């Protein structure tokens, strides 16, 4: 039964349960029920559930703080996974390059003369100097080392050795730049250090199928924020893998978004998702709300500043739902703004926060209102800090014209998302709230006398799933070492 209420919000609900672990769900209509009732229906994959109980043991805090554990991740996991390194549109022309940094490794990603993409360890074969500065990007017709001038073509062929007479032991064969595995999906360039890695297509699992109606290739980077965060990369990612925290961390959202009724799924080792409702009040809301009140609250939030205002034209018809009116309006208004026909999108694909994570560190959102991509990279070799890339991908106009991708806006640890020019203030507050918890969490990891964190069986299953996949990489290495 509901406990004491605070500002119309139920703050606790203790119900004895005879169910097996992982079977209990928040009382009330499920996300699936609500989406299934949307006018116009929903894609089949949004109506499917893919959850099972995968354990309830505590997760060691040392996984977030230990230097040894961090080193094992580098040696045994980061060197074996497909990881998003850049967008294709960052290197459109022959000679365009970008240097992708993961911990202490640097990878040069290059557009070749033929228009293909190659990835090389960013290191000269002479005495090891980085061919391009860490994190840099630009355009050069050849890859020339800044130290003594050994030079390679974009295809990785040796083209110049200064004082050739002194290197009779160097030839085109043994001095070809070594290549890393590289492949693309949805306009994202992925690399893998492991020459025996499975194909990217296999690693992606259900993603291409589930993103068929939200083609990431037909998008451009309209905004890119890169912020330093004061916690381990997994803790930062995990802050975005559940909506259990919404009630406490984002109380302003509960009148218009789901939280305890969010749906959680996982598919194979690498992909998990949540489907987080928008336009439907949180089950924590105690007072019954009319659909019109929900719609008014949605419009008052001004999620997309300037696109709509509190306008008396917005009335929920008899038997209709706030979600539907909001989605119809958004498709029309954003369609006009983006010069794009968006009428094919269902209600859920228009307004819900649908987040897919791809192991180890990336999230893709296939919806119009929340078209984000997240990436959480260790900040160099520091287990205690992270670089968070936050991208907004806007649909290309129907004309097919591709605007230049936005340059990253850098925010340091102490800076607020409100400092990003043009960023919606409501969203800036949400990201400040999310990232504001992290310093306290990382410090708490080090202060606690309890060995590990205790996770909810359902709402926090994506966190457990992440750790179980990580363990497979760490265990695999243990097996190989035997």
**Residues at the site binding Fe ion, with contacts judged by CB under 5 A:** 434
The least distance separating Fe ion from the CB of residue 375, rounded to whole angstroms, comes to 17
The least distance separating ligand FES from the CB of residue 442, rounded to whole angstroms, comes to 38
- 147, interface contact from ligand FES, Fe ion, none, CB < 5-8 Å by kind: ligand FES
Q: Give the nearer residue to ligand FES in terms of CB position, either 147 or 413.
A: 147
Binding mask 122-141 for ligand FES (x = CB under 6 A): --x-xx-x------------
Should residue 423 be labelled a site residue for ligand FES when binding is judged by CB under 6 A? no
Q: Give the nearer residue to ligand FES in terms of CB position, either 27 or 128.
A: 128
Q: Label each residue of the chain as H, E or C.
A: CECCEECCEECCECCCCCCCCCCCCCCCCCHHHHHHCCCCCCCHHHHCCCCCCCCCCCEECHHHHCHHHHHHHHHHHHCCCCEEEEEHHHCCCCCEEEEEEECCEEEEEEECCCCCEEEEECCCCCCCCCCCCCCCEEECCEEECCCCCCEEECCCCEEECCCHHHCCCCCCCCCCCCCEEEEEECCEEEEECCCCCCCHHHHHCCHHHHCCCCCHHHEEEEEEEEEEECCCHHHHHHCCCCCCCHHHHCHHHCCCECCCCCEEEEECCCEEEEEECECCCCCCECCCCCHHHHHHHHHHHCCCCCCCCCCCCCCCCCCCCHHHHHHHHHHHHHHHHHCCCCCCCCHHHHHCEEEEEECCCEEECCCCCCCEEEEEEEECCEEEEEEEEEEEEEECCCCCCCCCCCCCEEECCCCCHHHCCCCCHHHHHHHHHHHHCHHHHHHHHHHCCCCEECCCCCCCHHHHHHHHHHHHHHHHHHHHHC
The least distance separating ligand FES from the CB of residue 101, rounded to whole angstroms, comes to 19
The least distance separating ligand FES from the CB of residue 133, rounded to whole angstroms, comes to 14
Taking CB under 6 A as the criterion, the residue among 150, 211, 220, 274 binding ligand FES is: 150
The least distance separating ligand FES from the CB of residue 129, rounded to whole angstroms, comes to 4
Question: Residue count at the site for ligand FES (CB under 6 A)?
Answer: 9
Q: Give the nearer residue to ligand FES in terms of CB position, either 148 or 446.
A: 148
The least distance separating ligand FES from the CB of residue 160, rounded to whole angstroms, comes to 10
- 126, interface contact from Fe ion, ligand FES, none, CB < 5-8 Å by kind: ligand FES
- 434, interface contact from ligand FES, Fe ion, none, CB < 5-8 Å by kind: Fe ion
Binding to ligand FES in span 65-124, by CB under 6 A: 124
Question: Rule CB under 6 A: which residues touch ligand FES?
Answer: 124, 126-127, 129, 145, 147-150
């Amino acid at each position: 039964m509901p406990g004491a209420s605070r500002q119309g919000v139920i703050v606790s609900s203790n119900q004895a349960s005879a169910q097996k672990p992982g079977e209990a769900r928040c009382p009330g209509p499920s996300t699936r029920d609500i989406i299934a009732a949307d006018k116009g229906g929903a894609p089949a994959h949004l109506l499917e559930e893919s959850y099972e109980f995968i354990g309830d043991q505590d997760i060691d805090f040392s996984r977030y703080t230990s230097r040894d554990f961090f080193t094992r991740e580098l040696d045994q996991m980061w060197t074996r996974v497909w990881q998003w390194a850049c967008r294709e549109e960052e290197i459109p022309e022959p000679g365009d390059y970008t240097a992708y940094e993961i911990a202490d490794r640097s990878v040069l990603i290059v557009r070749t003369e033929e228009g293909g993409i190659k990835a090389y360890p960013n290191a000269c074969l002479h005495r090891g100097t980085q061919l391009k500065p860490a994190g840099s990007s630009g355009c050069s017709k050849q890859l020339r080392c800044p130290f003594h001038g050994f030079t390679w073509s974009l295809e990785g062929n040796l083209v110049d050795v200064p004082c050739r007479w002194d290197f009779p032991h160097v030839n085109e064969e043994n001095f070809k730049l070594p290549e890393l595995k590289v492949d693309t999906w949805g306009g994202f360039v992925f690399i893998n250090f492991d020459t025996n890695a499975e194909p990217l297509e296999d690693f992606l699992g259900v993603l291409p199928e589930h993103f068929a109606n939200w083609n990431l290739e037909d998008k451009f980077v309209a905004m890119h924020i890169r912020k330093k965060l004061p916690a381990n990369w997994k803790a930062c990612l995990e802050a975005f893998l559940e909506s259990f925290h919404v009630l406490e961390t984002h109380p302003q959202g509960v009148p218009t978004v789901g939280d305890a009724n969010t749906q959680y799924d996982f598919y194979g080792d690498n992909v998990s998702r949540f489907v987080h409702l928008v336009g439907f009040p949180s089950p924590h809301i105690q007072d019954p709300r009319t659909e019109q009140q929900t719609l008014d609250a949605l419009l008052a939030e001004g999620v997309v500043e300037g696109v709509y205002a509190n306008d008396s034209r917005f009335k929920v018809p008899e038997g209709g739902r706030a979600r539907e009116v909001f989605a119809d309006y958004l498709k029309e208004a954003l369609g006009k703004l983006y010069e794009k026909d968006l009428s094919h999108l269902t209600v859920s694909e228009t307004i819900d926060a649908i987040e897919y994570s791809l192991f180890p560190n990336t999230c893709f959102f296939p919806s119009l209102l929340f078209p984000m991509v997240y990436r959480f990279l260790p900040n160099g070799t520091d287990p205690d800090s992270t670089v968070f890339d936050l991208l907004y991908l806007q649909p290309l106009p129907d004309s097919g014209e591709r605007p230049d991708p936005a340059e990253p806006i850098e925010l340091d640890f102490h800076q607020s998302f409100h400092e990003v020019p043009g960023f919606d203030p409501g969203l800036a507050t949400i990201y400040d709230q999310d990232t504001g918890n992290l310093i306290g969490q990382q410090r708490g990891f080090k202060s606690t006398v309890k060995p590990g964190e205790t996770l909810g069986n359902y709402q926090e299953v994506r966190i457990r799933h992440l750790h179980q996949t990580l363990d497979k990489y760490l265990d695999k290495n243990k097996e190989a070492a035997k």
